Amino acid sequence: MMLVKLSEHKNVISKNIGVYMFPRSIFILFVSIFLNFSSQSSFSAEEDHDIKLTFLGTGAPRPSPTRYGPSILLEAGETKILVDAGPGMRQRIFQAGGFELLTDINTVLITHLHFDHTIELPNLWLTGWLFGRKTNMKVYGPEGTAAFMDHFERAFDWDLRYRYLTNVHKEGSDLITEDVKPGVFYNQNGVKITAFDVAHLPLNPETEELLGLEGATFGYRVDYKGRSVIFSGDTRSLPGSKIIEMSKGVDVLIHETQIPYPGESKEAKLANVSMIVHSTPAQVAHVFNEARPRLGIYSHIIPPETTRDELLSMTDYDGRMEVAEDLMTLMIGDEITIGKAKNLDNQTFLESDAVDN
Ligand SMILES: [Zn+2]
C-alpha cells in the first residue's frame, strides 16, 4: 500500500520536475530523502515490538460489563496463542481483530480447569472453524485438560455432524488436546513455553493442608527473541512462590489479585473464603519486589469493580506497574508500550469469504 502511494507520488514529482527542469541529481536526492523519511515515519510503535499482548478479559468468575473473564492473546511473529478462555473472550477477539483474528487463533493454553478460564473455549473453537479456520485447534493444559475437552467434543457432536451434512468444511473441526507437565512443552518458530506449578489447589483454611483434589494449576512463561512474559494463572503467593523463581529477568509479569473484603461481617467472611487460593496486593507487591520485572501487570481482578488507583495504592512497589483493562494492548520490545486495541464492532462479514478460505 505504502509503496503504491510512494510510486504514485514519485510520478507526480517527476512530471513537475520535468516542467521546472531540475537537474536529475537533485531530483534523485530529493526522492531518496522523501523515501527515507516516509519509511521511518511508517515504522511506528505498532511494528517495533517482538511480543504483543491483548487483554481480552481482566476479570474473574463474577459477571462484569467492563471486565470479562480471564483471557489474554499473545502474538509473537506469526504465532498467536491464547492464554485462558474466560467468559466473553469471543466477543473481545471480534472487537480487537474481527473475523480474521477469530479464524486465526488455533493454539490455546489453559492455566487450570475452573470454568472462568475454560467456558468460552468451545465458542472460539466452533466459531473460528465455522467462519473459516481450517487448522484444528490445539489446547494445552494441566492434567485433566484432554478429558475435559473430550466432553466438549462429545457435547457438540450433533452440531458438527449437522454442519458436515450441510457442506461446512470438515478441516479444522477437531479439538486436539495435550495434558502437559511442568517444564518446557512447546518450542516452535522461536516461541518457547514453560509450564510451572502455582498454588491454587484447594486447601483447608484452618490447617492450610491440601484437600487432596487431583490435577494441577499452572502459570506459564513465554520466551521469544529474548523477550519474556509470565502469566501467573490463579494462585496464592507465598514467599517462596515458584512465580518469583520463574520471573527473574522477565519483561512483563502478569499477576492475578483479590482484594480482601474489610471487616469481620458475614459478607466479609463469605467474600474472603477464596482468599486462601488468591493473592492480595501486598502479596503481589512481594512478588514484584523479588522479581523486578520491567513491567508488572494486574489482571484477573477480584472484585472486578476495584479501581486502578485503589490497586496501585495498595501495592508497595516502586517499579513500573499497571492495571490491565479489557482490550488494553502491550507492545514488548526495546520499549514496552501500553495501547488500546482498535474496535472493529461494525465490520461486515461475507459468507463467501468463509467458504473460500
Ligand atoms: Zn480464575
What single letter denotes the amino acid at residue 31? Answer: V
Q: Measuring CA to CA, which residue among 123, 186, 118 is closest to residue 147?
A: 118
Q: Which three cell numbers stand for residue 250?
A: 522477565
Q: Are 201 and 55 in contact (CB under 8 A)?
A: no
Q: Which three cell numbers stand for residue 345?
A: 464492532
Span 51-356 CATH architecture: 4-Layer Sandwich (3.60)
pLDDT at site 237: 87
- Those residues of the chain that have pLDDT short of 70 are 1-47, 353-357
Specify whether the backbone of 162 is left (phi greater than 0), alpha (psi in -120 to 50) or beta: alpha
- Residue 168 CA, ligand 1 centroid: distance in Å: 35
User: Residue 222: helix, strand or coil by DSSP?
Assistant: strand
User: How far from 217 is each of 7, 70, 107, 202, 282, CA to CA, in Å?
Assistant: 55, 15, 19, 10, 22
Q: Measuring CA to CA, which residue among 39, 40, 37, 13 is closest to residue 27?
A: 13
- Residue 70 CA, ligand 1 centroid: distance in Å: 7
Q: Which three cell numbers stand for residue 236?
A: 496464592
- Residue 44 CA, ligand 1 centroid: distance in Å: 35
Element (H, E) at 201: none
pLDDT at site 16: 36
pLDDT at site 14: 35
**Residue 103's Cα: distance from chain center in Å?**
16
pLDDT at site 12: 33
- Residue 234 CA, ligand 1 centroid: distance in Å: 6
Q: Measuring CA to CA, which residue among 234, 190, 244 is closest to residue 51?
A: 190
Question: Which residue bears the cell 484452618?
Answer: 206
Find all residues with CB under 8 Å of 232, minimum gap 6, and list them.
198, 219, 243, 253, 254, 255, 256, 279, 300
Task: Note the pLDDT tens digit of each residue in 215-261.
Answer: 999 999 999 999 999 999 999 988 888 999 999 899 999 999 999 99
- Residue 352 CA, ligand 1 centroid: distance in Å: 38
- Residue 61 CA, ligand 1 centroid: distance in Å: 6
User: How far from 10 is each of 13, 17, 29, 42, CA to CA, in Å?
Assistant: 5, 10, 12, 17
Q: Which three cell numbers stand for residue 154?
A: 462429545
Taking the C-alpha atoms of residue 357 and residue 315, their distance in angstroms, rounded to an integer, is 48
Taking the C-alpha atoms of residue 248 and residue 288, their distance in angstroms, rounded to an integer, is 10
- Residue 134 CA, ligand 1 centroid: distance in Å: 30
Environment of ion ligand 1 (residues, CB < 5 A): 60, 116, 234
Domain range annotation of the chain? 51-356
